[in-house]
Amino acid sequence: MIAGIVTICCQLGALAILWRFSRPRGLATLQGLFLSVAFVYHGVSLILISSFPGAEDYPGLASVAATSEWRYLVGAAFLGFAAGGALTSSLFAQRHTSPNTAGRKRAEFSLPRPWVLLGLVLPMYLVALAGRGLVAPSTSQVGATGYYSGGLTSQFLLVGMVVLALSILVHRGPKKLPLVLLGSSFAFALIGQRTWVVGTAILLLISLRRLGISPSSKSLALATIPILTVAILLSSTRAVEGRQAFTFGSGYGTRISALDQGARHMSVALTWSGFEQDYIGRLDGNVFPSFLVERLAQGYRPTGWSPIVNGIGLAIPSFLNPHKADTSLSARNEEHYLESAYSAPPNVNFLPTFFGSMCTYFGTHWLPLLSALLGAILAVLDWMLRKRSTITTLVFLALGTVAVGYESTPPNLWLSLRGAALLLIVIVVLRWFRDVATSSRSGTMTSASYHVT
């Protein structure tokens, strides 16, 4: 009980520190988004499970002592992250004057037309819908083709969908927000990604705020309807059909049939037992880290640099690292690496989380320091993306997927940095073609130039 109270106080204190040092943007930064999502998995879930003990998915997986130790550790990790981010933000604020963004016009935020972005997003979506993308962490029988298609869709589909939605709202107006989220929510329902339904809404609203676009209260209220509907639909589908309908290799026919059965039995998800199992227990990001802490106390060795090196290797493009698809599953997936290294029970869908994975790198006592380093890294990225422009907003989206995917592992950071670089290149190329077309129509076929705002 005491450990739970202490960790909640530490987590709320860390959020308050970030709020204080990131004004006027508040928590609409990479640091704030990351720590807010982490609080859901470590703080909110702890409060809910303490209030409803029967909701815990894996009771007894870790001892009471290990669970208490983890609660103290994650509280220290939150404070370390906030201290590292706040100190770095203060140093940059003292040495560099923030750009004056007052008076900037919305026309500066130019995005490609929705149909152009649809041409980029639709192929990835069809790959995922056909069951050839979004490789599950436990999938070991996936060839090189499946590995690359899974990597492509898992890394870029969410970002692409948010950018497409953002383009529609920029060109058509924020009143279209409910319709846009209706389309994205049901699109992700077909590929079984409930987290992405919520993630799209979060990233989209933060992007609109960065661009100075404010949807009305009515639009925001209406936008919650498709999100809640799809969340309930996917919960009932999983209860009736299981998760296998959305795994690698399942086609669109299987997915549609599963959702149809889920829609016919939506009352299952509306019961308290269904809510308790699929939401309260599903958000518990403390169980597996507590198990890892106990394993370390039992004499299991820290993983060292291996997961970090493996993650960086995955971020290297295939033309520079052509054999990465031939490596073992543990080298390509840190969650599988941890389950294997620490003898986790098989066939269990754990949530490793960023902080949980990081506590195994060099031992639990290094977690606060590593968290402070991560906070400092995100603070530097926030400073680099401080200008309110199209480019910085799109790069923010690519990196924002790290926070949305907090339940996963740290290699996502390196992959997101690579994705941000690729997205930047794509946008610059699209602008170059746009400028060439504009020059051609005006009869001034001189050297085309582009301006990165």
Indicate if the pLDDT at residue 99 is higher than 50.
no
Angle subtended at Cα 237 by Cα 232 and Cα 240, rounded to the nearest 5 degrees: 125
Mean pLDDT, rounded, for 387-401 = 82
One-letter identity of residue 157: L
Distance CA 92, CA 107 (A): 29
Alpha helix (H) residue ranges in 211-271 = 217-241, 252-264
Query: In angstroms, what CA-CA distances link 175 with 114, 186, 215, 301, 378?
Result: 16, 19, 7, 55, 32
3-state helix, strand, coil split of the chain in percent (to 5) is: 70, 0, 30
Distance CA 271, CA 94 (A): 54
In this prediction, residue 184 carries a pLDDT of 92
Distance CA 73, CA 187 (A): 39
Query: For the whole model, what pTM was predicted?
Result: 0.85
Of the candidates 355, 378, 376, 377, the residue with the CA atom closest to the CA atom of residue 367: 355
Distance CA 165, CA 186 (A): 13
In this prediction, residue 360 carries a pLDDT of 94
Indicate if the pLDDT at residue 97 is higher than 90.
no
Cα torsion 261, 267, 273, 279 to 10°: value is: 70
Q: Which residue would you say has higher pLDDT here, 191 or 53?
A: 191
Query: In angstroms, what CA-CA distances link 125 with 2, 19, 149, 231, 242?
Result: 47, 36, 11, 19, 22
Helix (H) or strand (E) holding 91: helix 64-95
Contacts of 288 (CB under 8 A, 6+ apart): 61, 344, 350, 351, 352, 353, 356
Query: In angstroms, what CA-CA distances link 394 with 8, 80, 176, 199, 424?
Result: 33, 28, 20, 15, 8
**Whether 371 contacts 355, CB under 8 Å:** yes
In this prediction, residue 57 carries a pLDDT of 67
Report domain extents, the chain: 108-280
In this prediction, residue 101 carries a pLDDT of 45
pLDDT digits (tens, 9 = 90+) for 249-262: 777 788 888 888 88
Mean pLDDT, rounded, for 84-96 = 82
**Whether 427 contacts 446, CB under 8 Å:** no
Distance CA 155, CA 150 (A): 8
Distance CA 117, CA 419 (A): 16
Contacts of 90 (CB under 8 A, 6+ apart): 21
In this prediction, residue 364 carries a pLDDT of 94
In this prediction, residue 450 carries a pLDDT of 34
3-state secondary structure of 440: helix
DSSP state of 175: G
3-state secondary structure of 277: helix
pLDDT digits (tens, 9 = 90+) for 141-176: 444 445 555 666 767 788 888 889 998 998 888 899
DSSP state of 132: S
In this prediction, residue 445 carries a pLDDT of 41
Distance CA 365, CA 129 (A): 43
Distance CA 247, CA 269 (A): 21
3-state secondary structure of 21: helix
The CB density around residue 371, as the number of other CB atoms within 10 Å, is: 29
Contacts of 441 (CB under 8 A, 6+ apart): none
User: Which of 159-196 are b and which e, b meaning 16 or more Cβ less than 10 Å from the residue's Cβ?
Assistant: bbbbbbbbbbbbeeeeebbbbbbbbbbebbbbbbbbbb
